Amino acid sequence: MPAQKVVICGAGFLGEYRKHIARNIVSPATKASVPERIVQLSSRNPARLLQTLQKDLPQAVTRLQATPLDITKPETLAPAFEGAHTVVSLVGLMHGKPEDFERAQWRGAENVAKAAKEVGARLIHISAIGANPASEIAYWRTKGLGEEAVRSVHSNATIIRPSLVFGPEDDFFNRFSKLSIFLPFLPVFGGGQSKFQPVYVDDIAKAVEVMSRGDPEVEKKVSGKIIEAGGPRVYTYYDLMVTVLKYSHRNRLVISFPYWMGMMQGFAGEMLPPNLFTVTRDQIRQLGYDNIINPNPGPGEISFDKFLQEHYSHSPTPLIGILPSYLGLY
């Protein structure tokens, strides 16, 4: 039986999921019997990641491929997806103008879904907790519009909504650890009381690995469903800053500022190229909302914790089990 092809489509930090998903698919950390699969990395410039993975996984070189595409150019997608059993859509942006978010997270996600449907591939779409087509925040609004577009053209798609994702390449904990080198304090806004439920990138990758095995029972279970992915513990934003400092081994204050000061900083930051100190007004607005999973999944949802336990015999990984391994490097 020929190996099934799994296309991992995306770039940016969401694209950094690609490493973890690819590793888990070609070299799954499970004793279960799983089918051999080919992983195709697809983005505008996938060659560098392909070289990295080939170096890290020499035993799987023949099962790693790269095909360039552009999610804003629909004509490049179906040819790249041809022959795929599963497409994993990692379409996302961290910074940009509203039209940039619309082009990538809404229309780009829709283009990927249409192409996956056209070639008969299953679709796993990575979204975000907070996705809401009516949100005033461009990131969440376009994530919500993207979900609606995906469901309208590929009704069997599985949507994964992570909370704050952590891992060696993350853009949150690494960033604040680096900031603590230069600043005498770490800032929070409004008391830092908004809640987060950090989830390990490798746990998301394991869930995607299971869904891409071609197991009819798993596919039936996750088809058309939403999975909100969070870790085992809820933290306040203030708690997270304290945790960053602890595992970065730095003695700094955590100081709360009013939201209006954050909005002023965001306004100024949006005028400059993105850098370590950049924060946008939408990111400040996001801090006014909790970012945690629904503890009681409805009929159209699946428990991330139970899914991991069923297929990998462990619950989501605690933040403090992983964070010290990479924050201490700065």
**Based on C-alpha coordinates, what's the Rg of the chain?**
19
Whole-structure pTM value: 0.94
Other beta carbons less than 10 A from residue 233's beta carbon: 13
d(CA 195, CA 162): 14
Residue of 252, 274, 105, 259 whose CA lies nearest to 192: 259
> Is 22 in contact with 52 (CB distance < 8 Å)?
no
Look at residue 60 in the predicted model and tell me its pLDDT. 84
> Is 250 in contact with 179 (CB distance < 8 Å)?
no
d(CA 165, CA 172): 8
Strands 301-303 and 199-200: unpaired
CA distances from 133 to 96, 102, 143, 265, 283 (A): 18, 11, 7, 26, 17
> pLDDT tens digits, the chain, 330 residues: what are they?
578 999 999 865 555 688 889 989 988 766 667 888 999 999 999 998 899 889 888 888 889 999 999 999 999 999 999 999 999 999 888 878 889 999 999 999 999 999 999 999 999 999 999 999 999 999 999 999 999 999 999 999 999 999 999 999 898 999 999 999 999 999 999 999 999 999 999 999 999 999 999 999 999 999 999 999 999 999 999 999 999 999 999 999 999 999 999 999 999 988 888 888 889 999 999 999 999 999 888 889 999 999 999 999 999 999 999 999 999 765
Strands 253-257 and 301-303: unpaired
Burial class (CB in 10 A: 0-12, 13-18, 19+), 4: middle
Look at residue 58 in the predicted model and tell me its pLDDT. 85
> Is 308 in contact with 316 (CB distance < 8 Å)?
yes
Look at residue 296 in the predicted model and tell me its pLDDT. 85
Domains observed in the chain? 4-170+198-230+292-317 (3.40.50.720)
